[in-house]
Structure 1
Amino acid sequence: MEESKVDVLIIGAGPAGLMCANALAHAKIPVRIIDKRPGDIPAGQADGIHARTLEILQSYGLARRLIEESAEIHRAAFYIPSPKGGIERLRRMPAITAPSTARFPFTCTLHQGAIEAIFHDDMRPVGLEIDRPTIPTAIELSEDEAELKDPQAYPVKVVLQHLDRNDTEVVRAKFVLGSDGAHSWVRKAMDIKMEGDMSDFIWGVVDINPDTDYPDVRNLAVIHSTEGSALLIPREGDLLRLYVQLADADVLDPETGRLDKTRASPQKVLEMAKRILRPYRMDPIGDIRWWTMYVVGQRVAEKYSVRDRIFIAGDACHTHSPKAGQGMNASMSDTHNLAWKLTYVLRGWADVSLLSTYEFERRKFAVDLINFDRQWAALFSSGKVKGSDETLHEMFRRNGQFTSGIGIRYAPSSIVQNAYQACAANLIVGERMLPHDFICASNARPLNIHDMLPSDMRFKVLAFVGDIKVETAAARIRQLSEQLEAPESFLQRFGHGDSSAVFDVICVSSSSKKDVDWTDFPKVLRSHWSKVLLDDLDMHARSGGGGFAAFGIDRELGAIVIVRPDGHVGLVAPCDRVDIVNEYFASFMLPVTP
């Protein structure tokens, strides 16, 4: 057999696998990605991208294209049975419920194949293509403890079969990621159990180009009627997706009790949707574009890794209903979380124990998601949350921060340390960094702080300092710069010969644009003219200002904020306590070796 080696082998080229592969390829980590599909998805599958995922894609430079190609959903509508028969609108509300700090306060919808194409086109210039149609046929993990503890060893052996030429290959990998869907071969091969149950809800889905008088056809619509329940989602162009709850008698085999897709059809799904939508009309223009049916499974894997060498992500480790549009978002967030951790271990920058935080952080999120999904999916049948009078729209509003992704908080660990939270009260340690507009000290150009935090595998060291024209503040700034330049500083200990490759230092000052130049600040705080920001209004007073207050940081005392490579706040500390930052990085990073 042909044999090869690779640092990371990714099995499954859906959104989760592509997110990881693209990030690793741009970080120059040797990576391969395989998939059993012979080609791209032409239509259907997942389609919703929520606010936090848009921020993540923005950090990779991919959001603009996705937004341009997709439909934007800014508003949600809720319908209930009408006393006159049919349905009537109960209310409308924002698609992302207030209060919201989302930089993109909307949801985008675009079919999965088009979303995957954005990743394909970004991977290609760095030399990464999907190897397909290819499947794994065997996987073996070494039992040698020394080999397993050495991040530069190749303890995983995978046998691949190339279906197009009917030959086999042995790949030896340092790490393997199984992002191969709900029926994951990797998960089953490693005997990882799924915990949870299948629900009693059966749903049909159709994509159509609608001819309709329904007024909320371009809004997210949640409908509860005497005929059943439906969810309507506008898509790119003039497309519309309809989720319709189906009756057991329509789709279950009476002898086996199992779902039988041959007993249903897209026409039956559409006919049910028409009954639910009365008195409104809903007809397709041309053919039905795509359809499917499924039973909701609400399950989470008992573990996300085997010896921190073989990982699973996305649908391979959590399944839930698509009603809240979480599947693709959760999947990509899984591997966005994992990619930088693999990079740091493979580069020799971090201890291999860092990889255990992947399961710690992402499995808790999945458990929370499934608990939410159980209630959310049940609402489509009953219109009420079991055991309470809470209605669909109330639960939608209450959980908006969770479903949009912007409220996700990781629990304390080696990379989430919140002992000094009061220094930046509104930048919650464990949550993603808040967006806010500042201006460049060098040219007064306004920009969002998120645009200073690209997913380039570096920790962002945000030094919020006072007004350098005030002597007490200037003295603190000098003290900070001396601590950062000291031999015991994290910049020196963990910089691995080039601290700018590991850490990106950004200075944010409360000084006024009319009083200071970017060159007034110590060199360690201004590695480039773009790295000094001011909390002031732009030249036309249209944006900027109020950042210290928005972040809960004292304008005189300042703070140090450490933002992880995935955009989550890992630490906040007093501006004069670089020793706290040193201890933070010492808890998981490896020092420079002589």
Structure 2
Amino acid sequence: MEGLNRAVCHVDVLIVGGGPVGLITAIQLAKFGHSGSIAVIEKHLKSSQDQYGRAITLYPRSSEILDQLGLADELAQECFACRSTVSYDKDGNEVQGRGWYFMENMKDTQWDFALVLRQKYQEEIFRRRLNELGVKLEAAVELIQVNVDDAVQQGDYKITAVTKNRMTGEDQTIMCKYLVGADGGRSFVRRTLDIPFNGSTTEDKWVRIDGIIETNMPKSRVYGSIESPAHGNVLWAALDHAATRIGFAFTAERQKQYPDFNEAAAIAEATASVKPFTLKFHQVHWFTVYSVGQRVARNFFTKDCVFLAGDACHTHSSGAAQGMNTGIHDACNLGWKLSMVLDGLASPSLLNTYESERLPNIQKLINYDKDISRLMTMQLPSGWKGDPNADPNEILGIVMEEASTFTSGLSIAFDLNDLNVMGSFESSFNPMPVSPGQRGPDVHLQKPGTNEATRLHKETPNNARFYIVVFSGEPKHTSPSLRNFSECLEGSKILSDARLPISWLTIPAKSGPSAFELLGIMPFGKLFYDEEQTAHLRYGIGIERGGVMVLRPDGWVGTSTALNEDAVVELEAYFKSVLLIDS
């Protein structure tokens, strides 16, 4: 924001951290109409920090939510799309069903693969998009002081932040309504506000090294593992631009061999870790050695105005490749909520659901990661009650398979709250495939007239709007219900208020030459056909009764109602609890 050039400037939101989490948060706010009222600062000049390493993998749900923000296509253009995996035992024999095998079975999504693109390239794409939206990333600008005035009411300028330009030495005072700390595991925002960062760091160390390699491994352009007696469960990941990442445990015994762990040492250990296969580096892009730990901030939202996101509020090993994914989920849970509050469309109390929805899922990940990180270093999980002589590699495969839908993000769900409300809808299927608080599945549809194929996620982009999706079933059965619903809707001042962030879709379980002739009424919003009835089936909606689903802006199901005249009353009650609506 140009105001950063003044001695004191005022912004609605100050975002601290120019990595993927900060950039995606900023992109959302800019996309939702706040480009002139946000500032994004980054401590490091990107030219000095653009290393190849760090995060590499986006799982399906992360790709889906980025797709609904219009960000995934460009990532897909440049990525290595990984759909194949392999596991080798210590002798180089292929072992079935272990390691990353679950990645071959990520179904129920268009993005049924691991999108592998190093953080360097992802950030380049995100920075370009942010710039296109009229927001400049300010670097190298460091946050050096934060004060929150508790006497100022929420929504006003409660925060006084002081930054320093590390190039010129000049200080800047920024007054803001909200501050987002996306400034990494050593977060200044978290530390200066004295937010406890609970957890522990183990003595275990891991090495990661990226580069252009040559090997005799039979299957090398995959996500794989090698069960090394000396280096644990070794990660082998094919990367973008024909590169490869190798990661392994670095035991205390092996650390003693290297007073100085330099590039030559990293190459030597990587070469030893993949035995019996050969390995030759033609070029090293990046390497690191780091300690493994799991920590969670006590609060993700504090003082009614400060948020933590990504590594600033949770850190864990890279064992399950969740770091960037969890940060993206944080950003996309927060972005639309913050935008609606800034626009006066929702009460500030909506912001409390950021922590209540994200924290339980992070804790679940931390518990899972503790087991994963131990197993990858050839140790059985803490408190293990099974066979004490069990093979950690075998247990690892079981644990990763059991957690597969959580790892892919497709089963990440939220508890019931004001946003996630059980409605009157009763599924024709038991158990109900999709409930409030769960991801809204991406289903295939057809456009009217041309019968072109499309997808529900494509037709419900994240524009900080809710979608009311009327699954109208088979019209010959549901026509009376549709008419009653339509008549009641005409009398609803709330649901017909164009000022509210609500859009409509109608999905009949049949196609026809005319939407009106097919339904007997005009459709609600845009209409798309579900001629093969797969969309109704996936959402658990019987074609003889139909149903209504509300999708949140981020793509999770908000509520579901029966298709009848009472649905209008239910929907009004739902939106009254979520949005600021004039009675």
In structure 2, how many angstroms separate the alpha carbons of the residues matched to 1:200 and 1:77? Answer: 29
In structure 1, how many angstroms separate the alpha carbons of the residues matched to 2:367 and 2:104? Answer: 20
Task: Read off the aligned partner of 2:474 and give its amino acid letter.
Answer: D
In structure 2, how many angstroms separate the alpha carbons of the residues matched to 1:67 and 1:377? Answer: 29
Q: 1:302 is matched with which residue: 287, 294, 298?
A: 298
What does 1:145-224 align with in structure 2 at a 5 Å threshold?
147-149=152-154, 151=155, 153-224=156-227
Determine the structure 2 residue equivalent to 1:256.
Answer: none
Task: Read off the aligned partner of 1:50 and give its amino acid letter.
Answer: Y
Deviations 1:357-398 (A, max 9, x none): 000011111100100000011111226553335622222211
State yes or no: 1:352 paired with 2:357. no
The answer to whether the Cα contact below 8 Å between 2:89 and 2:95 also exists between their aligned partners in 1 is yes
Q: 1:548 is matched with which residue: 504, 523, 536?
A: 536
In structure 1, how many angstroms separate the alpha carbons of the residues matched to 2:295 and 2:510? Answer: 52
Deviation at 1:267, TM superposition (A): 2.4
Q: Which SS does the other structure have where 1:25 is aligned?
A: helix
Task: Read off the aligned partner of 1:124 and give its amino acid letter.
Answer: N
Change (3 A) 1:309 1:464: same
Q: 1:121 is matched with which residue: 118, 123, 128?
A: 128
In structure 2, how many angstroms separate the alpha carbons of the residues matched to 1:463 and 1:403? Answer: 31
State yes or no: 1:580 paired with 2:570. yes
Deviations 1:66-109 (A, max 9, x none): 1121111112222223xxxx342211575525473132111011
Determine the structure 1 residue equivalent to 2:252.
Answer: 248
Deviations 1:85-134 (A, max 9, x none): x3422115755254731321110111111101111111122211101110
Q: 1:72 is matched with which residue: 70, 77, 81?
A: 81
Change (3 A) 1:217 1:383: farther
In structure 1, how many angstroms separate the alpha carbons of the residues matched to 2:171 and 2:19? Answer: 23
Deviation at 1:163, TM superposition (A): 1.6
Deviation at 1:486, TM superposition (A): 1.8
Task: Read off the aligned partner of 2:186 and give its amino acid letter.
Answer: H
Task: Read off the aligned partner of 1:375 and give its amino acid letter.
Answer: D
Q: 2:492 is matched with which residue: 487, 499, 505?
A: 487
In structure 1, how many angstroms separate the alpha carbons of the residues matched to 2:102 and 2:70? Answer: 24
Deviation at 1:312, TM superposition (A): 0.5
Task: Read off the aligned partner of 1:223 and give its amino acid letter.
Answer: I
The answer to whether the Cα contact below 8 Å between 2:204 and 2:249 also exists between their aligned partners in 1 is yes
Deviation at 1:278, TM superposition (A): 1.8
Deviation at 1:160, TM superposition (A): 1.1
Decide which moves more: 385-394 or 195-204: 385-394
In structure 2, how many angstroms separate the alpha carbons of the residues matched to 1:565 and 1:367? Answer: 24
Task: Read off the aligned partner of 1:360 and give its amino acid letter.
Answer: S
Determine the structure 2 residue equivalent to 1:231.
Answer: 235
What does 1:415-434 align with in structure 2 at a 5 Å threshold?
415-420=419-424, 422-423=426-427, 425-434=432-441
In structure 1, how many angstroms separate the alpha carbons of the residues matched to 2:58 and 2:270? Answer: 24
Length-normalised TM-score, structure 2: 0.91
Deviation at 1:216, TM superposition (A): 2.5
State yes or no: 1:136 paired with 2:143. yes
In structure 1, how many angstroms separate the alpha carbons of the residues matched to 2:87 and 2:422? Answer: 39
Q: Which SS does the other structure have where 2:195 is aligned?
A: coil
Deviations 1:422-457 (A, max 9, x none): 337212321211011111233311111111111111
Change (3 A) 1:422 1:267: farther
The answer to whether the Cα contact below 8 Å between 1:97 and 1:397 also exists between their aligned partners in 2 is no
Determine the structure 1 residue equivalent to 2:556.
Answer: 568
Change (3 A) 1:116 1:518: farther
Change (3 A) 1:384 1:277: same
The answer to whether the Cα contact below 8 Å between 1:244 and 1:269 also exists between their aligned partners in 2 is no
Determine the structure 2 residue equivalent to 1:509.
Answer: 508
Q: 2:451 is matched with which residue: 435, 440, 444?
A: 444
Determine the structure 2 residue equivalent to 1:591.
Answer: 581
In structure 2, how many angstroms separate the alpha carbons of the residues matched to 1:306 and 1:223? Answer: 44
Determine the structure 1 residue equivalent to 2:21.
Answer: 16
In structure 2, how many angstroms separate the alpha carbons of the residues matched to 1:100 and 1:519? Answer: 36
In structure 2, how many angstroms separate the alpha carbons of the residues matched to 1:329 and 1:205? Answer: 19
Q: 1:458 is matched with which residue: 447, 465, 480?
A: 465
State yes or no: 1:88 paired with 2:93. yes
In structure 1, how many angstroms separate the alpha carbons of the residues matched to 2:175 and 2:241? Answer: 45
In structure 2, how many angstroms separate the alpha carbons of the residues matched to 1:208 and 1:449? Answer: 39
In structure 2, how many angstroms separate the alpha carbons of the residues matched to 1:252 and 1:309? Answer: 47
Deviations 1:321-380 (A, max 9, x none): 112110011001101100110011111111111000000011111100100000011111
In structure 2, how many angstroms separate the alpha carbons of the residues matched to 1:279 and 1:525? Answer: 64
Task: Read off the aligned partner of 2:353 and give its amino acid letter.
Answer: T
In structure 2, how many angstroms separate the alpha carbons of the residues matched to 1:128 and 1:90? Answer: 50
Q: Which SS does the other structure have where 1:556 is aligned?
A: coil
In structure 1, how many angstroms separate the alpha carbons of the residues matched to 2:535 and 2:302? Answer: 43
CA RMSD of aligned residues (A): 2.1
In structure 1, how many angstroms separate the alpha carbons of the residues matched to 2:515 and 2:147? Answer: 59
The answer to whether the Cα contact below 8 Å between 1:409 and 1:431 also exists between their aligned partners in 2 is yes
The answer to whether the Cα contact below 8 Å between 1:178 and 1:186 also exists between their aligned partners in 2 is yes
Deviation at 1:519, TM superposition (A): 6.8
Task: Read off the aligned partner of 1:366 and give its amino acid letter.
Answer: I
Deviation at 1:523, TM superposition (A): 7.4
Decide which moves more: 382-391 or 409-418: 382-391
Determine the structure 1 residue equivalent to 2:531.
Answer: 536
Task: Read off the aligned partner of 1:562 and give its amino acid letter.
Answer: V
In structure 2, how many angstroms separate the alpha carbons of the residues matched to 1:366 and 1:449? Answer: 28
Give unpaired runs (5+ residues) of structure 1: 254-260, 538-544
Task: Read off the aligned partner of 1:52 and give its amino acid letter.
Answer: R
Deviation at 1:524, TM superposition (A): 6.8
In structure 1, how many angstroms separate the alpha carbons of the residues matched to 2:259 and 2:11? Answer: 43
Q: Which SS does the other structure have where 1:117 is aligned?
A: helix
How many residue pairs are counted as aligned between the two chains? 558
In structure 2, how many angstroms separate the alpha carbons of the residues matched to 1:524 and 1:369? Answer: 46
Deviation at 1:21, TM superposition (A): 0.1
Deviation at 1:562, TM superposition (A): 0.5
Name the % identity. 26
Give unpaired runs (5+ residues) of structure 2: 1-5
Task: Read off the aligned partner of 1:479 and give its amino acid letter.
Answer: N
Change (3 A) 1:325 1:443: same
In structure 2, how many angstroms separate the alpha carbons of the residues matched to 1:566 and 1:59? Answer: 8
Q: Which SS does the other structure have where 1:23 is aligned?
A: helix
In structure 2, how many angstroms separate the alpha carbons of the residues matched to 1:117 and 1:179? Answer: 17
Determine the structure 2 residue equivalent to 1:540.
Answer: none
In structure 1, how many angstroms separate the alpha carbons of the residues matched to 2:568 and 2:116? Answer: 44
The answer to whether the Cα contact below 8 Å between 1:199 and 1:295 also exists between their aligned partners in 2 is yes
Deviation at 1:65, TM superposition (A): 1.4
In structure 1, how many angstroms separate the alpha carbons of the residues matched to 2:260 and 2:470? Answer: 63
State yes or no: 1:25 paired with 2:23. no
